[in-house]
Structure 1
Amino acid sequence: MPETIIDCIYEAAAEPAAWENALDRLAHLVGAEGALLVNISDELMPLITTPGVRELYSDFFKQGWTADNIRTKALLSASKSKFISDVDQFSQEQMRDEPLYRDFLWPRGFGFAAGVSFDLPQEKTIAISIERKRDSGPIEEKHLDLLNSVGRDLRRSLILASQLEFKAVDNSLRALQLARLPTAALTAKGKILGCNTVFEAANPRYAISAFDQLRFLHPAAQASFEASLAAGMADGASRDEMQGAQFACPGQPGLPPAVVYLIPAARLNVGLFSPVSFFIILVPLSRSNGLTSEMIQSLMNLTRAEARLTKLLLDGEPLRDAAQALGIQLETARSQIKTVLAKTDMARQTDLIAALTSLHSLEAD
């Protein structure tokens, strides 16, 4: 077993983007086209596919082949922590009579697979499927031995990756706690999975109802919240395709209005193991502009140049004057602001300034 594959497996525990390479190497080790990793315990079924099977699995899910899939059921029921081959579960005659093989896999040149599932802590189950072309022949015992030789490493890496992802959620909540911003981690349907103490404190703007469901008390804010969740999940988007949103929470006597931000968790590399789909941040409106360019850079994940330009606009400088003050061309400034708007999911410069003026500076707080 090449040590580089094991290295890739453990690298993926710390860097989610590395899973694709690890799975691809594993598939090529046994002459397969590619692999799929999917969290089958999550209702959204977040997954990773390698290039060789990406189109295959895109069609698989879009065309509804997950329903009554005898191959998946057979592999999952018999493959706990150990790779097994589909040829050990079905004869060629059974495959010929099965629509999944006859009408879907075979016309695309595929036809053989090996699968494994791992039960992880917190009731999570991760499945991996290795897909081989039909003309390459079945995945045989010698191939299974190779795959199973790294099975223990795969499970350890998956457990570590899961723990790190949950830690990332906790760290995000703690970081926004330092800025005194009420923040909660939500499922795609608005259920609260965690929150910081600022959010947890009694707040007249929202309530936590039955089954930990977040509910805004102002009807307009609740309607905007529901619409934002629905838009974020438009057309059955996967967790890494979800869209962010922002909406107003109207004020009440003695209570200023607030801006509510719905941020996709996938931007923080959260979503494969954790059911968190969104972070929701509630920012009470205040005109205290104590934000420095460094704060803006950190809060919005901007470059130093983008943050300096944004700070000048926040201070009331027209874009042309801000560009001149920074010694850059007006077109460069316009390009930087377009990038800032894209990074912050905002459509207009006025939205950006309104959002920033709403943020309390740490000094003011």
Structure 2
Amino acid sequence: MSDASTLIDRIYEAAVIPELWSDVCISLAAEVNAYSACLLTIGSDQRIDWICSPNINEAMIRYSRSEVRYQNVRPERSMISSPAAFSRDIDVMTAQEIIDDPIYNAFLRPMGLGWSMGAVFREPSGHTLIFDFIAREADGPFSSTHVDRLNSMKGDLARAALISSRLTFRQAENITSTMSMLGLPAMVVGEDNRVLVMNDGMEGLAPRIRTGAANKLSLENPAVNTLVLGALDELRVAETAKVQSIPLPAVEDQPALILHLLPVRRNARDIFSRGLAVVIATPVGLAGPPDLRVLSGLFDLTPGEARVARELSSGANLETVAVTLGLSLETVRTYLKRIFFKTGTRRQAELTHLLSGLGRVAA
């Protein structure tokens, strides 16, 4: 068992750096002799996302794609029997139910696993957070000592997960604020097409661009509305980040615009991100490389990283970028690694393709 204060510190560190949750899951599993630990989020649309110990990730992928997951009785029963606290499968299910459970039979027992323990927390946003632990079948059910150990940390775990969630919402607000300073109408659209945040510039484009029922994005032009919603659908399943640009025709005294849809969810492990895309409106005719402030605002790039990204967007190779900016080749490579991480891209060609779509998004 690890030092309690050290583990709590790491939990709160993961709260502000979500990529660390995977390592925290490994440590949490070790605390209670579990095979794996997993932090899941379930949206109002039943979309499931997770961060987990690496050894259970493949099973989680299959589980998330299976209809069997809707037969999971444990979360609902846990919320009734032990609200916002950890409980075991043997606390909320009969022995026969555990034997017959389709999830255990389809996903756990083939891996030699067979017992679970978890806690369910509700976010104010309506999303559900679940901490789930799985034990090897041969080890038997989790003990009451294991339950007590996790319950001693339940407040910290819940607060840390909520902090992660709130920080991503603040990031969405920061993006639209940055675009406001550049005079660009912008909004952040969530997974279910709801507008999470919109700046004054975008609000000023109503009724051409507006929110409709349930605060969902809606465009006055039916054809453009279909294109935008279709583009958002593509972003949901896209494996790589890609900017999509859609023209919005002029109407009466309102000029034609280009709507740029930029994926927000660039890190597959960022399970807290509620945003699907940043939508930015620019006048027709703007051209050139991306504005440095746009790059910084959208991807949280440092000034140095933004300058390198701007040069790469034109297709320049690393050697040319180094000479142009007066940097060593090694420094440019270091910047490139950070840019890959922040933009969710993995190759230079992929990065160039993403950034080139922002050429019209200039101040």
Q: Tell me if TM exceeds 0.5.
A: yes
Partner of 1:249: 247
User: CA contact under 8 A between 1:185 and 1:195: conserved in structure 2?
Assistant: yes
User: CA contact under 8 A between 1:207 and 1:214: conserved in structure 2?
Assistant: yes
Of 208, 214, 232, 2:211 maps to 208
Of 96, 101, 122, 1:119 maps to 122
Return the TM-score normalized by structure 1.
0.78
Distance 1:138 1:208 in 2: 49
Q: Residue 278 and residue 360 in structure 1: after superposition, are their counterparts in 2 closer, same or farther (change >3 A)?
A: closer
Distance 1:110 1:359 in 2: 51
Q: Residue 42 and residue 20 in structure 1: after superposition, are their counterparts in 2 closer, same or farther (change >3 A)?
A: farther
- How many residue pairs are counted as aligned between the two chains? 335
Partner of 2:341: none
User: CA contact under 8 A between 2:59 and 2:107: conserved in structure 1?
Assistant: no
User: CA contact under 8 A between 2:69 and 2:103: conserved in structure 1?
Assistant: no
Please identify the structure whose Cα radius of gyration is greater.
1
Give the Å deviation of 1:296. 6.8
Of 232, 236, 239, 1:233 maps to 236
User: CA contact under 8 A between 2:168 and 2:274: conserved in structure 1?
Assistant: no
Residue 278 of structure 2 aligns to a residue in which SS? Answer: strand
Residue 283 of structure 1 aligns to a residue in which SS? Answer: strand
Give the Å deviation of 1:49. 2.0
Partner of 1:131: 134
Return the TM-score normalized by structure 2.
0.78
Q: Residue 69 and residue 189 in structure 1: after superposition, are their counterparts in 2 closer, same or farther (change >3 A)?
A: closer
The share of aligned pairs that are identical, in percent, is 24
Distance 1:270 1:52 in 2: 15
* One-letter amino acid of the structure 2 residue matched with residue 100 of structure 1: I
Q: Residue 244 and residue 191 in structure 1: after superposition, are their counterparts in 2 closer, same or farther (change >3 A)?
A: farther
1:84-123 maps to which residues of 2 (within 5 A)?
84-123=87-126
Distance 1:22 1:110 in 2: 21
Distance 1:231 1:153 in 2: 37
Distance 1:168 1:113 in 2: 34
Distance 1:255 1:93 in 2: 67
Partner of 2:187: 184
Distance 1:126 1:36 in 2: 10
User: CA contact under 8 A between 1:189 and 1:229: conserved in structure 2?
Assistant: no
Alignment gaps of 5+ in structure 2? 327-335, 337-345
1:242-281 maps to which residues of 2 (within 5 A)?
244-252=242-250, 255-267=254-266, 272-273=271-272, 275-281=274-280
Give the Å deviation of 1:244. 4.0
Q: Residue 206 and residue 120 in structure 1: after superposition, are their counterparts in 2 closer, same or farther (change >3 A)?
A: closer
Partner of 1:22: 24
Alignment gaps of 5+ in structure 1? 329-335
Give the Å deviation of 1:165. 2.1
User: CA contact under 8 A between 1:42 and 1:275: conserved in structure 2?
Assistant: no
Is 1:64 aligned with 2:63? no
Q: Residue 82 and residue 327 in structure 1: after superposition, are their counterparts in 2 closer, same or farther (change >3 A)?
A: closer
Of 347, 351, 356, 1:343 maps to 351
User: CA contact under 8 A between 1:13 and 1:158: conserved in structure 2?
Assistant: yes
Distance 1:50 1:120 in 2: 23
Partner of 1:158: 161
User: CA contact under 8 A between 2:294 and 2:362: conserved in structure 1?
Assistant: no
Give the Å deviation of 1:243. 5.1
User: CA contact under 8 A between 1:121 and 1:159: conserved in structure 2?
Assistant: no
Distance 2:267 2:183 in 1: 20
Partner of 2:329: none
User: CA contact under 8 A between 1:20 and 1:48: conserved in structure 2?
Assistant: yes
Deviations 1:18-71 (A, max 9, x none): 111112211111111111212234422332222121122222222322122233
Q: Residue 220 and residue 150 in structure 1: after superposition, are their counterparts in 2 closer, same or farther (change >3 A)?
A: same
Partner of 1:12: 14
Alpha-carbon RMSD across the aligned residues, in angstroms, is 3.5
Deviations 1:60-100 (A, max 9, x none): 22232212223343334323221111122334443223333
Distance 2:265 2:101 in 1: 37
Deviations 1:132-169 (A, max 9, x none): 11112211011112111111211222232232222112
Deviations 1:255-312 (A, max 9, x none): 44332222222238996345332221112123476x79745753675553442465xx
